[in-house]
Amino acid sequence: MQLNIIAIGKQKNDFTFELTQNYFRKLPFSGSITELDSSVRMISERVLDESKKIREFLSVKGVKGHRLVVMDKSGEDTSSEELAELIKAWRNEAVPASYFVIGGADGHSKKLIDSADRCLKFGNATWPHLLFRAMLSEQLYRAEMILKNHPYHCGH
């Protein structure tokens, strides 16, 4: 199963880009990081525009049976082991791809959150969006290492 990240905003010129890519390249199954932008200025409209762009992207990709995970402060707190078990369960169901979505500064629309297969968070702290991409890519890599019983998880 491909593990993908969809993120609002651009990271390419930020120092966190290489860190994110480093963990993402180590994933045993191919996947992608897709960055989407919104040009809308008003907060209420921007959140809706970003959610619409995420849905359009998934529609264009045409992946049937994918899972959508929205990363949001309202989500269920998850551990590395729980994330690994979720990925394992979806693999056992032959899910072809999962998309982990990181919203913009104003979060996600309620409609996107409600339509997601899961809504998760990594603790109660608020994380910088560009750093969170690196954290999420590391957690996806860590989940893979947990599933392989690799010592990486135990040593960090």
Spatial contact of 78 and 120, defined as CB atoms under 8 Å apart: yes
Res 82: pLDDT: 97
DSSP letter string, 98-126? EEEEE-BTTB--HHHHHHSSEEEESSSS-
Classify 42 in phi/psi space as left (phi over 0), alpha (psi -120 to 50) or beta: beta
Regions of the chain where pLDDT drops below 70: 153-156
* Strands 97-102 vs 2-8: parallel, antiparallel or unpaired: parallel
Residue 102: CB atoms within 10 A of its CB come to 23
pLDDT at 138 (0 to 100): 94
> In this structure, is the dihedral angle defined by the CA atoms of residues 50, 52, 53 and 59, taken in order, positive or negative?
positive
pLDDT of residue 154: 66
Question: In the numeric block, which tokens belong to residue 51?
Answer: 């959610």
What pLDDT, on the 0 to 100 scale, is given for residue 29?
80
User: Which CATH number describes the domain made up of 2-155?
Assistant: 3.40.1280.10
For the stretch 108-143, pLDDT in tens is 999 999 999 999 999 999 888 889 999 999 999 999
pLDDT of residue 13: 77
Q: What are the backbone dihedrals phi and psi of residue 26, each rounded to the nearest 5 degrees, phi first?
A: -80, -15
pLDDT for 98 = 96
With b for 16 or more beta-carbon neighbours within 10 A and e for fewer, the 38-74 pattern comes to beeeeeeebbbbbbbebeeebeeeebeebbbbbbbee
